[in-house]
Chain A
Amino acid sequence: MPKAFRTAAGMTGLGLLLLVMGAATLGPLLAPYDPQAFHPAARLQGPSAAHWLGTDQFGRDLLSRLLNGAPSTVFFGLGATLLGVGAGSMIGVIAGTAGGWIDSVIMRILDGLLAVPELLFTLLIVTFLGGGMGQAMLAVAIAFTPGMARIARSSVLSIRTREYVLAAVARGERSPYIVLREVLPNAVGPIIVEATIRVAFAIMIGATLGFLGLGAQPPSTEWGLMVAEARQFMFRNAWTVAVPGVAIAMAAMGFNLFGDALRDSLDPRRSS
């Protein structure tokens, strides 16, 4: 295992991530009950031998719902981030390498978009695209793009003036080689870290959209929607909110810590 993961933070991140990803791939198969089955007799129960994490207002088993919702929640977080990071990095790298008026035009547009808070921006896009998982994912990706572009651009700019890049320009290397081999590998550090932080954000924004009824729709078991549906019963049984809430937090933390360790292990100066 790379040295960067052998720290307490790295191990924790890896552990949490394995747990979350395990739930996302095998969760629905492991669920002890049908996540949609109503059991009016067993409503709003705390943890017990029969229901390890308790039940919700309809008597549905929370553990089963949590496991069942893991794939869509994680898929949402990863999908929205990958789209947003991909588009943003591409724009940022183009702006940073091209320079001149191309850079100015791109960056002024992005500055305008950055002025709108991310959540508000997401909500605006959702109103155009309509509710639902796919639309919400696209909305989050679009909202992420300007910020990612800015980070990618500044990272590229700082690398572009390094002497080894100048050396490549001076010896007459073609632009694709310079961008792909000299600049990008050294500029990805901040992009990766930002991306992993954003997976956590995406999961939370997804949860928020679910909570507001703009993302996943009932009877989906997406975690944010679970929190939303349970909020009226929070004071009668806190477990209904805590279970999906803690799961979201664990996923977010797992991605964050994993991202830090990943950045360190990708840096040749830190890994050996």
Chain B
Amino acid sequence: MAGSNAQRAADTPVLEVSRYSLSYATPSGPIHALKNIDLRVAHGQTHGLVGESGSGKSSLAWAILRYLPENAIENDGRLLLSGESLRDRTLPQILEIRGRRISMVFQDPSTSLNPAMRLGEQLSEVLIRHRGLTVQEALEESEAALARTGIAKPRDMLRRYPHEASGGEKQRVVIATAFACNPELIVFDEPTTALDIITAQQILELFNQLQDETSISALYISHDLGLVSRVADVVSVINSGEIVESGPSAEVFRTPGNDYTKALLGAVPNPKQWLGVTEPPSEAPALMSAEGITVEYGRQSLLGQLLAPKPTHLGAQEVSIEVRKGELVGLVGESGSGKSTMGKVLSGLQDFDGNVRFGDRNFARLAEIDRTYRRAVQIVFQHPDASLNPRQRVREILSRPLKLYDIVPREQRAERIAELLEQVRLPQEFANRLPHQLSGGEKQRVAIARAFAAEPELVICDEITASLDVSVQASVAELLVSLQRQTGTACLFITHDLNLVRQLAHRICVMQHGKLMDAFHRDDAEGPDRNPYTRALLKAVPPPASQAA
């Protein structure tokens, strides 16, 4: 490229979106997904686009890649890639641009890679198609590309199928593919959301390292403010299809100008800000103690063992956890650590070896768990969409525990349901609604109300905030604490979010590979005797930039 051209290229933004609006035509009228969007990604810049679910951030990514459904209606706004309009390209031209000049990294590497193709084929395909390399050259180049993403044995990895690689390795392959043709722009759509905390941290470091090496321009889409503050130079906050604030990342995070941005930043869990209830005195008796719980998955019958023996897998191994009256204990771990297995054991859904002591009673296996125990220990699940029966109205859902445990006489049930709804801060009219007429946060409130309807002594919360937006997460956590304050119920809070749990829990237990690795009081979280794994977890989730000071 000649000097003057290069100069011009550096001045023209790599991506320029101006006055762009997008809506979707539906039988019940148009839905406005994007309203008058203005956004520029300068050469070598990482532009963070932050928004909650439904904010339109993914619609923008699809519009840039020119991959819109048939019912999409666009206005006459502009989408420019290095000064050239993307909107008047024909499909064959767009196909040349995708992968060559703009590439994309998706959220979940396990669905964005073709399970029937070796990783090497998928990576080299892009090089053959867009850079015209021969198969041999492409494979060599792929190996080099993988090596740059920090994969230890790249040649070996190229021969594997996606199911033979871990989530982190797969995402490295996807990122290597995106960087392979040295595109002008890479769109990252929540690239770490589907990964474990520590893996996500490594991918983030990889991104920053590749960004430094190649000075590629990136549009980094995420719901996670803390994360964006660590990668983006410039950030735009999008809310219901409108960009409400935009500016240099440090500035936006330190001195947000817009109310929505402020609310969003305020909702990010800050481990230094205590939200939980007063800690019960240390001599308070144990309410529930699980002693040496072991869960073996895939256990076979005698006949099965003879015919086709399969290895079993330990979901939990000799795990002991204690919860005192009125206490909130955090149980933290990555996916597959066994934390949900413990939740299932304690809520009577999973058979186990070991002993669960509740009050002065002992339970040595699933069959011994009776209704008295089940009433005293209630569970709230992760997915608000799946935890309520779609065919039952809120009234029926809430009246069930009242009826089952005979908590109030029949004629007082309606009144009690109204009280329960009020306790979880929902209007009384919601009793008539069906679950699909509620938002995610509202559904989760109903699920919490159902658990508290039984007037339990212990509530197990299994990732209850993981499927919710940041701002909703905060209000659900706060609701839980206020219910705890009113009722004195103890709580086992299972989560992967360390920052959140440090705001709520008196004591924290850490699990990995089915084993209890660490258990400590919240004051000792940063103490010197923490397990190395705990320290790695804590290091992987620093608080967002605005709170670091």
Q: Collect the chain B residues with CB atoms within 8 Å of residue A170's CB.
A: 347-349, 374, 378-379
Tell me the nearest residue of chain B to A183, going by C-beta.
B389
Are the C-beta atoms of A164 and B374 separated by less than 8 Å? no
Q: How far is the CA of A103 from the CA of B404 in the complex (A)?
A: 29
In the complex, whether A167 has a CB less than 8 A from a CB of chain B is: yes
Given A163-B387, A170-B348, A101:B301 Cβ within 8 A: yes
Q: Type the 1/0 row for B391-429, where 1 means its CB is closer than 8 Å to any CB of A.
A: 110000000110010000000000000000000000000
Q: How far is the CA of A162 from the CA of B383 in the complex (A)?
A: 10
Given A171-B375, A171-B378, A163:B349 Cβ within 8 A: no
Are the C-beta atoms of B388 and A164 separated by less than 8 Å? yes
Q: Collect the chain A residues with CB atoms within 8 Å of residue B347's CB.
A: 170
Q: How far is the CB of A183 from chain B (nearest CB, A)?
A: 9
Q: Collect the chain B residues with CB atoms within 8 Å of residue A169's CB.
A: 348-349
Q: Collect the chain B residues with CB atoms within 8 Å of residue A167's CB.
A: 379, 381, 387, 447, 450
In the complex, whether A117 has a CB less than 8 A from a CB of chain B is: no
State how many residues of chain B have any CB contact under 8 Å with chain A.
Answer: 29
30 A–B contacts from the bound complex (CB under 8 Å): A101-B301, A163-B381, A163-B383, A164-B386, A164-B387, A166-B381, A167-B381, A167-B387, A167-B450, A169-B348, A169-B349, A170-B348, A170-B379, A171-B374, A171-B375, A171-B401, A171-B454, A172-B371, A172-B374, A172-B375, A172-B404, A173-B400, A181-B392, A182-B389, A185-B389, A185-B391, A186-B389, A268-B390, A268-B436, A272-B437
Q: How far is the CB of A203 from chain B (nearest CB, A)?
A: 31
Q: Collect the chain B residues with CB atoms within 8 Å of residue A171's CB.
A: 374-375, 378, 400-401, 404, 454
Q: Type the 1/0 row for A218-249, where 1 means its CB is closer than 8 Å to any CB of B.
A: 00000000000000000000000000000000
In the complex, whether A269 has a CB less than 8 A from a CB of chain B is: yes
Q: How far is the CA of A268 from the CA of B437 in the complex (A)?
A: 10
Q: How far is the CB of A242 from chain B (nearest CB, A)?
A: 38
Q: How far is the CA of A172 from the CA of B454 in the complex (A)?
A: 11
In the complex, whether B94 has a CB less than 8 A from a CB of chain A is: no
Binding site for A on B (CB under 8 A): 301, 347-349, 370-371, 374-375, 378-379, 381-383, 386-392, 400-401, 404, 434, 436-437, 447, 450, 454
Q: Type the 1/0 row for A170-198, where 1 means its CB is closer than 8 Å to any CB of B.
A: 11110000000110011000000000000
Interface size class of A (residues with CB under 8 A): 10 to 19
Q: How far is the CA of A101 from the CA of B370 in the complex (A)?
A: 25
Binding site for B on A (CB under 8 A): 101, 162-164, 166-173, 181-182, 185-186, 268-269, 272
Tell me the nearest residue of chain B to A268, going by C-beta.
B434
Are the C-beta atoms of B390 and A163 separated by less than 8 Å? no
Q: How far is the CB of B82 from chain A (nearest CB, A)?
A: 44
Q: How far is the CA of A182 from the CA of B386 in the complex (A)?
A: 12
Q: Collect the chain B residues with CB atoms within 8 Å of residue A181's CB.
A: 389, 392
Q: Collect the chain A residues with CB atoms within 8 Å of residue B382's CB.
A: 163
Q: Collect the chain B residues with CB atoms within 8 Å of residue A269's CB.
A: 390, 436
Q: Collect the chain A residues with CB atoms within 8 Å of residue B447's CB.
A: 167
Tell me the nearest residue of chain B to A164, going by C-beta.
B389
Which 10 residue pairs are nearest across A and B when measured between Cβ atoms? A172-B374, A163-B387, A163-B381, A172-B371, A163-B386, A164-B389, A170-B347, A269-B436, A185-B391, A268-B434
Besides the known contacts A172-B348, A172-B371, A172-B404, 8 further A-B residue pairs in the complex with CB atoms under 8 A apart: A163-B383, A164-B387, A170-B378, A172-B375, A173-B400, A173-B404, A182-B389, A186-B390
Q: How far is the CA of A173 from the CA of B454 in the complex (A)?
A: 13
Q: Collect the chain B residues with CB atoms within 8 Å of residue A173's CB.
A: 400, 404
Are the C-beta atoms of B349 and A166 separated by less than 8 Å? yes
Q: How far is the CA of A169 from the CA of B389 in the complex (A)?
A: 13
Q: How far is the CA of A163 from the CA of B383 in the complex (A)?
A: 8
Q: Collect the chain B residues with CB atoms within 8 Å of residue A164's CB.
A: 386-389
Q: How far is the CA of A101 from the CA of B390 in the complex (A)?
A: 31
Q: Collect the chain A residues with CB atoms within 8 Å of residue B301's CB.
A: 101
Q: How far is the CB of A4 from chain B (nearest CB, A)?
A: 13
Q: How far is the CA of A181 from the CA of B375 in the complex (A)?
A: 20
Q: How far is the CB of B278 from chain A (nearest CB, A)?
A: 29
Tell me the nearest residue of chain B to A182, going by C-beta.
B389
Tell me the nearest residue of chain A to B391, going by C-beta.
A185
Q: How far is the CB of A175 from chain B (nearest CB, A)?
A: 13
Q: Collect the chain A residues with CB atoms within 8 Å of residue B392's CB.
A: 181
Q: How far is the CB of A2 from chain B (nearest CB, A)?
A: 15
Q: Collect the chain B residues with CB atoms within 8 Å of residue A268's CB.
A: 390-391, 434, 436
Q: How far is the CA of A69 from the CA of B389 in the complex (A)?
A: 45
Tell me the nearest residue of chain A to B369, going by C-beta.
A172
Tell me the nearest residue of chain A to B397, going by C-beta.
A164
Tell me the nearest residue of chain B to A173, going by C-beta.
B404
Tell me the nearest residue of chain B to A101, going by C-beta.
B301
Q: How far is the CB of B517 from chain A (nearest CB, A)?
A: 27
Q: How far is the CA of A171 from the CA of B379 in the complex (A)?
A: 8
Residue among A170, A173, A182 with the highest chain B CB neighbour number at 10 A: A170
Q: Collect the chain A residues with CB atoms within 8 Å of residue B348's CB.
A: 169-170, 172
Q: Collect the chain A residues with CB atoms within 8 Å of residue B391's CB.
A: 185-186, 268
Q: How far is the CB of B70 from chain A (nearest CB, A)?
A: 19
Q: Collect the chain A residues with CB atoms within 8 Å of residue B379's CB.
A: 166-167, 170
Q: Collect the chain A residues with CB atoms within 8 Å of residue B401's CB.
A: 171
Q: How far is the CB of B458 from chain A (nearest CB, A)?
A: 12
Q: Collect the chain A residues with CB atoms within 8 Å of residue B389's CB.
A: 164, 181-182, 185-186
Q: How far is the CA of A185 from the CA of B349 in the complex (A)?
A: 22
Q: Collect the chain B residues with CB atoms within 8 Å of residue A168's CB.
A: 400
Q: Collect the chain B residues with CB atoms within 8 Å of residue A172's CB.
A: 348, 370-371, 374-375, 404
Q: How far is the CA of A163 from the CA of B343 in the complex (A)?
A: 13
Q: How far is the CA of A173 from the CA of B371 in the complex (A)?
A: 9
Q: How far is the CB of A201 from chain B (nearest CB, A)?
A: 28
Tell me the nearest residue of chain B to A165, going by C-beta.
B389
